Chains A and B, each alone.
Chain A
Amino acid sequence: MSEIIKQNDEKIMTKITKDLTHHLTTRPLGFKLWIGFLLTFIAVAIWAYGIQFEKGLGVTGMRDYVSWGLYIASFVFFVAVALVGMLISATVGLLKQKWIVPVSRVAEMIALAFVLMAGVIIVVDMGRPDRLLNVFIYGRFQSPIIWDITVVQVYILISFLLLFLPMLPDLAIIRNHMKGDLPKWQWKMYNILSLGWVGTPQQYKILHSTVRVLLILIVPVALGIHTVTSWLSAMTLRAGWDSTIFGPYYVTGAFVAGAGAVAVALYFIRRFYHLEEYITDYHFDKLGQLMVLVALVYLYFNLNEFWVPGFKMKTADAKHLHTLFSLHGEYGVMFYLTQMFGLILPIIFGLFRRFRKPFPMMIIGIALVVGAWFKRVIIIIPTLIHAYLPIQNVPESFHEYDPTGIEITITLGVIAVAVLIVSLLAKFFPVLPIWEIAEEKGVDIERDL
Chain B
Amino acid sequence: MKKSILNIIGLISISLMIAASAQAQWKIDDGLKDAKLKVDYNEDNITAGKAIYDSRCKACHRDIVTTEKNDRALPSAPNLGNKEFQSTNTDGEMFCKISYGNGGGMPPFEKQISDVDKWKVIAFLRSYYPAYKASTASTQAAAPVNSFKGTLNAIKLSYDSENNKVVAQLSGQDGDGNIVNPKGVKVSIYVKRYFGELPLCDGEKTDANGMVSIPLGNLPTDTLGFIIVKASAANNAVSTESKLKVSDGYHWKNPLDGRHLWAVRAKTPLWLLITYLTVTISVLAIIAWAFFQLFRIYNLRER
A residues sitting closer than 8 Å to B (CB atoms) are 138-142, 147, 150, 154, 157-158, 161, 164-165, 168, 195-198, 200, 202-203, 206-207, 209-210, 213-214, 217, 221
Contacts and interface: CB of A to CB of B under 8 A. Distances in A.
Given A142-B262, A195-B298, A198-B300, A161 B287 contact: yes
A150 B287 CA distance: 13
B137 interface: no
Given A141-B265, A141-B272, A150-B280, A161 B296 contact: no
Contact of B294 (A141, A165, A200, A217): A165
B73 interface: no
B51 to A, nearest CB: 36
B297 interface: yes
Given A198-B300, A198-B301, A200-B300, 11 more contacts: A140-B264, A154-B284, A154-B287, A161-B287, A164-B294, A195-B294, A196-B297, A198-B302, A206-B297, A217-B283, A217-B286
Nearest to B286: A217
A350 B273 CA distance: 45
A213 B291 contact: no
Contacts of A142: 261-263, 265, 268-269, 272
B265 A140 contact: yes
Nearest to A154: B283
B276 A147 contact: yes
A157 B287 contact: yes
A196 B273 contact: no
A150 B262 CA distance: 20
A221 B301 CA distance: 32
Contacts of A161: 287, 290-291
Contacts of B269: 142
A139 B291 CA distance: 26
A203 B300 contact: yes
Interface of B: 261-265, 268-269, 272-273, 276, 280, 283-284, 286-287, 289-291, 293-294, 296-298, 300-302
A164 B284 CA distance: 18
B287 A196 contact: no
Contacts of B287: 154, 157-158, 161, 217
A197 B296 CA distance: 11
Contacts of A198: 300-302
A159 B276 CA distance: 21
A209 B289 CA distance: 12
B290 A141 contact: no
B88 to A, nearest CB: 42
B6 to A, nearest CB: 17
A214 B290 contact: yes
A200 B296 CA distance: 12
B294 A213 contact: no
Contact of A210 (B265, B293, B302): B293
Contacts of A213: 286, 289-290
Contacts of A206: 293, 296-297, 300
B273 A141 contact: yes
A82 B65 CA distance: 76
A196 B286 contact: no
Contacts of A140: 264-265, 268
Given A141-B272, A147-B276, A161-B291, A168 B297 contact: yes
Max chain A Cβ within 10 angstroms of own Cβ: one of B268, B296, B300: B300
Contacts of A203: 297, 300
A196 B265 contact: no
Contacts of B272: 141-142
Given A161-B290, A165-B294, A195-B297, A221 B283 contact: yes
> 7 closest Cβ contacts across the A-B interface?
A196-B301, A210-B293, A195-B298, A140-B265, A141-B268, A198-B302, A142-B261
B205 to A, nearest CB: 50
A165 B290 CA distance: 9
A203 B295 CA distance: 11
Given A196-B298, A197-B297, A213-B290, A141 B276 contact: yes
A195 B294 CA distance: 8
Nearest to B294: A195
Nearest to B280: A150
Nearest to B277: A141
A145 to B, nearest CB: 13
Contacts of B293: 165, 206-207, 209-210
Contacts of B297: 168, 195-197, 203, 206-207
Contacts of B294: 164-165, 195
A150 B275 CA distance: 13
A197 B283 CA distance: 27
B107 to A, nearest CB: 24
29 contacts: A140-B265, A141-B268, A141-B272, A141-B273, A142-B262, A142-B263, A142-B265, A142-B269, A154-B280, A157-B287, A158-B287, A161-B291, A164-B294, A165-B293, A165-B294, A168-B297, A195-B298, A195-B301, A196-B297, A196-B300, A198-B301, A200-B300, A202-B300, A206-B300, A210-B290, A213-B289, A214-B286, A217-B283, A217-B286
